[in-house]
A and B are shown apart, each in its own frame.
Chain A
Amino acid sequence: MIPEIGQLSLIVALCLAVAQGVFPLVGAQMGKPAWVAVAIPAAAGHAVFIAISFAALAWSFLDNDFSVWYVAMNSNTELPIMYRFAAVWGGHEGSLLLWVLLLALWALAVAGFSRGIPVLLRARILGVMGLISTGFIMFVLFTSNPFLRLFPAAANGNDLNPLLQDPAMAFHPPLLYTGYVGFSVAFAFAVAAMLSGSIDRQWARWARPWTTSAWMFLTAGIVLGSWWAYYELGWGGWWFWDPVENASFMPWLLGTALIHSLAVTEKRGLFKSVTLLLAIGAFSLSLLGTFLVRSGVLVSVHAFASDPTRGLFILVYLAVVIGGALSLYAWRAPGLDREVGFKPFSRETFMLLNNILLAAAAGLILLGTLYPLVLDAMNLGKISVGPPYFETVFIIPMLPLILMIGIGMHTVWRSASATAVLRRLRAAILVTVLAGVLIPVFIWGWNSLLTLVGFVAGTWLIVSSLFDPVRRMMGTGPRITRGMAGMQMAHLGLGLCVLGITATTSFNIETDQRIALGESVVVGDYTIEFESTQMVTGPNYQAIRADMAVSKAGHPVTVLHPEKRIYNVQTSPMTEAAIDSRLYRDLFIAMGDDLGDGSWSFRIQYKPLISFLWLGSFVMTLGGLVAITDRRYRSAARSTDSAPEQAARANAG
């Protein structure tokens, strides 16, 4: 009964999504206020019914209703209750339902928190989101229905993939999806502006907090995924350039560019067409990520072969959404940009270069991700593109970008003097060179030129981000708004990430060891003794746990307990790495295979500064949060009757 309620609610939500999509958009074009007024109630109803539908699926999981096929495939009576809830988005069907739920919630937020936005603009934004949702719900209902019954009901379920049975993995998809879907708001802003034919600085100011919010969720989601890979996959790597990661990283890069481009559009009324294109691009890549990778349609033979209709549906959907927006762009974008000059050395130039470099990085990653597919489609053979390609094409645009950020932050709009900026930053440059070169060489010794460049770049970001706040504290700097503080924090966080990445990749010690019981090995400054093993019984797994005593120069540091688990239902062995995490280093031990005669293989890693990566990402995300609390967004939300509304009225009238 409950699954049927979910199914029916989804159908009701589909009808409301159609209403939310059609009436406001048509009404806004034709000048029918009554139709425009449908937007908010429709968005609210849509959200309510999607929520009921999602709750019904969650209930089926919590209730162990194995007569529902999707539940039987992804859950088990032995599965702990928290993971039974997380299992709702453990497979293709449920993760799509989560996507639709988040879309509805974003639309609800737009309806609720944008009272200052002109009625027509808001109606169009909600309308576009309604149309996006319509296609998605149809996809769920017609090709990926999570409420299908299994007859006869299964006695017990297939269990959730053990890889996903982890707290980080439980929260990773919702965060990531909230980011993906959040870019639909920026996309809807762009399409709404193109429909009305007018885009101005107010529009950019309204769009900014929404874009930054989505970016924050995406950042947090990506980092959580990376962190999960780091300790759950058991190899100690944190980024693999696989299609799933690339799919989340590409919208992040374009979203970051969009944030900066919106800033220029707001402050200077420039880069309008670039901003529109980035808004379309960021959401398009999010869609690509959701469909082509997450759902496994193009990479996994099973999802693909079992239902070719899915692939066709997705392609048509992408063609309509992205193709429609890009056609609108080809029609409306010409004539938006005016010829306002800015000098070659100005903040505008730095922002432009920033956008170009970020978009280039995203484009090259997209190329590497799609290239094997394209080659195969053209019958040119099957290849795969690996990390060496991605690392190269990523570092080439990123290094100059990082060096430029520090200067760009301290450059004014329109026209600046390069010598004046450099003179002002003299002290910062000096500190950077000294700290960035000497400290790493003192701690770790000389490694390579690229390592040195990495340390200098990271230090430069940190020093230049702290430059204004420090001067302010000394009483000589300009007043710092929330927006500026957020920007400085985000760049500071990026600097911490760069330091973490550089130190980890350059000075990582990684060793695979055969260790017998009672023996010890030396890794870096640490001595690790394999003391004992014991059997452990978890709620739905059996495990062997090792006790590894870590000491440094004779002093005990900690005892680590890596585990090797066998889950009862899906019987695949899983490695639970044990990590001793300090600010300046991680010590990572993963248990390999039983080699007989009481010895085991272990993978032991010493990772300097890897916590800077997580810390930096956290600071970056926090920077976004600080930026969106800037006072001017609140005052902007209150201002009414702006130029776009007048233009929209004129257009509609």
Chain B
Amino acid sequence: MELITPGLGLIFWMTLVFLALLFLLKKFAWLPILKMLKDREDAITDALSSADKAKEEMKQLQFSNEQLLAEAKNERDSILNEARKIKEKIIEEARLKAGEEAGNIMASALENIRNEKMAALTELKNEVGELSLEIATKILQRELSDPKKQEEFARQLLKEIKLN
């Protein structure tokens, strides 16, 4: 067989085998392999992009979390402030009220005292009146004749009254 003259039989077999090989490989190997390679590449691209998206979302989430936290902090601070204010107000009010009450109590005590004093004075006056009357009676009963003695006596009596 010659080197550079193609043999008929070999051409025939080569064509036959090559066509069969092409057909079988196309159907059972190349198309499935190429399809799955493409699918896998797509899947990887998808996975990568979704991972990126997730990362972005996480970032967003973290950011909003931080924001939320800051807001909560602020709120807490403001609530605390308010509470403090209220507390102070309450204390202030209580203090004022207490002062007022104390004033009232004092006032009524003073009133009472005055009333009592007045009552006492009245009673005293009555007593003094009675005593004066009694004294007068006694003087009248005794030596009303002697004006000197009368006077002395009256003076003595008065002296006694003063001590009361």
Determine if chain A interacts with chain B: no
